[in-house]
């Protein structure tokens, strides 16, 4: 049987950054791995980042999440069957940040086919160590339901956090779990990711998972996550940062949760990951102006006008 891991985390938590480190660790142990990536929108920005992992030890697959739940589940199941037959030692699934955990567990146990092919290894949930309290009920649902199933809750950006912020974040997760009538059973790991040791990665890869019952609060909700994608944008770094700040500051564009993508200017290529509270910028060798805006109640025409201006 093939071991399968799930790496979850709400929008902007740092899943893809950790995925790259985790995949390199597994490959260093001699494992051949397959990564299954899916996200909202027609353009999967994270796949561009993961392309550097491609080798004889690592292959990337993608499922487009721009469809209804039944269609997505069918696509997910079909892709997992194909990957189980491809000779991987381990498959890693990185879904969208707005991910219903039931889809993962229900698909694997649906008719026995995948259950005979896969053994669930670890569910790893990434949470920003500087979590804020001003989240919607639905956002907290995704945070809590993902963390409640995780064997390891890995905090990101610990090196930028004060000890009291880390404790506040843990308290927020616990409170969000109580709101959907479940408890956090997994272990927290709060450490600068650049200082993660082989022992840390071994602990993470063997952290397991929990089948937690919880109350769903998203059924019938008016909150519907949506996205709008852009190709071949010509902004430089400062121009794009200005547009991102405008998106978050002006509610007429909708409730913007995440903006991510790449810009190119005379200094080189940059990756931008933005939430309401920060814009993270990293140098990267990608020469294409690609962006995705994720949120709720999006005024897509107005966003397009801004981004192409």
H helix intervals, 229-282: 237-249
Select from 132, 133, 135, 174 the least CA-distant residue to 153: 174
CA–CA dist 26, 122 (Å, integer): 13
At residue 225, does pLDDT exceed 80?
no
Mean per-residue pLDDT, 248-257: 94
Contact 288, 232 (CB under 8 A): yes
Pick 51 or 23 by higher pLDDT: 23
With a pLDDT cut of 70, the percent of the chain lying above it is 93
Q: How confident is the model at residue 162 (pLDDT cuts 50, 70, 90)?
A: very high
Mean per-residue pLDDT, 233-245: 93
All domains of the chain in start order, with CATH: 2-205 (3.40.50.300), 225-307 (3.30.1220.10)
Q: What is the pLDDT of residue 66?
A: 60
At residue 39, does pLDDT exceed 80?
no
Mean per-residue pLDDT, 6-28: 93
Lowest-confidence segment of 39-53, 67-81, 82-96 by average pLDDT: 39-53
At residue 197, does pLDDT exceed 80?
yes
Q: How confident is the model at residue 222 (pLDDT cuts 50, 70, 90)?
A: very low
Mean per-residue pLDDT, 297-305: 95
CA–CA dist 301, 309 (Å, integer): 12
Mean pLDDT in the chain?
88
Mean per-residue pLDDT, 96-120: 87
Q: 279: which DSSP letter?
A: E
Q: What is the pLDDT of residue 184?
A: 95
Pick 114 or 109 by higher pLDDT: 114
Q: Name the β-bridge partners of 188.
A: 153
User: How many angstroms separate the Cα of 268 from the Cα of each of 46, 77, 281?
Assistant: 19, 40, 12
Q: What is the pLDDT of residue 219?
A: 45
Q: 222: which DSSP letter?
A: S
For the entire predicted model, the pTM comes to 0.86
Q: How confident is the model at residue 40 (pLDDT cuts 50, 70, 90)?
A: low
N-to-C CA span, the chain: 52
Q: How confident is the model at residue 134 (pLDDT cuts 50, 70, 90)?
A: low
């Amino acid at each position: 049987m093939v071991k399968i891991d799930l790496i979850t985390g709400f929008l902007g938590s740092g899943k893809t950054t950790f995925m790259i480190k985790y995949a390199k660790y597994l490959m260093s142990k001699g494992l051949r791995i397959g990564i299954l990536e899916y996200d909202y929108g027609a353009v999967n920005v994270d796949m561009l980042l993961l392309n550097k992992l491609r080798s004889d030890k690592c292959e990337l697959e993608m499922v487009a999440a721009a469809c209804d739940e039944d269609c997505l589940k069918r696509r997910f199941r079909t892709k997992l069957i194909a990957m189980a037959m491809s000779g991987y030692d381990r498959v890693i699934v990185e879904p969208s940040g707005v991910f219903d955990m039931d889809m993962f567990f229900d698909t694997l146990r649906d008719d026995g086919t995948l259950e005979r092919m896969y053994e669930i290894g670890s569910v790893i949930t990434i949470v920003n160590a500087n979590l804020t309290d001003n989240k919607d009920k639905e956002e907290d649902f995704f945070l809590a339901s993902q963390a409640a199933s995780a064997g390891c809750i890995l905090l990101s950006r610990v090196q930028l956090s004060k000890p009291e912020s880390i404790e506040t974040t843990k308290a927020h997760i616990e409170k969000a779990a109580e709101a959907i009538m479940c408890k956090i059973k997994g272990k927290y790991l709060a450490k600068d990711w650049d200082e993660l040791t082989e022992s840390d990665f071994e602990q993470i890869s063997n952290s397991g998972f929990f089948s937690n019952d919880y109350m769903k609060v998203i059924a019938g909700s008016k909150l519907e996550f949506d996205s709008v994608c852009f190709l071949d944008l010509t902004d430089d770094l400062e121009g794009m940062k200005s547009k991102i700040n405008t998106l978050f500051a002006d509610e007429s564009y909708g409730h913007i949760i995440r903006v991510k993508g790449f810009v190119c200017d005379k200094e080189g290529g940059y990756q931008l990951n933005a939430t309401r509270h920060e814009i993270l910028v990293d140098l990267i060798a990608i020469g294409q102006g690609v962006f995705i805006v994720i949120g709720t109640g999006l005024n897509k025409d107005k966003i397009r006008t801004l981004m192409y201006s």
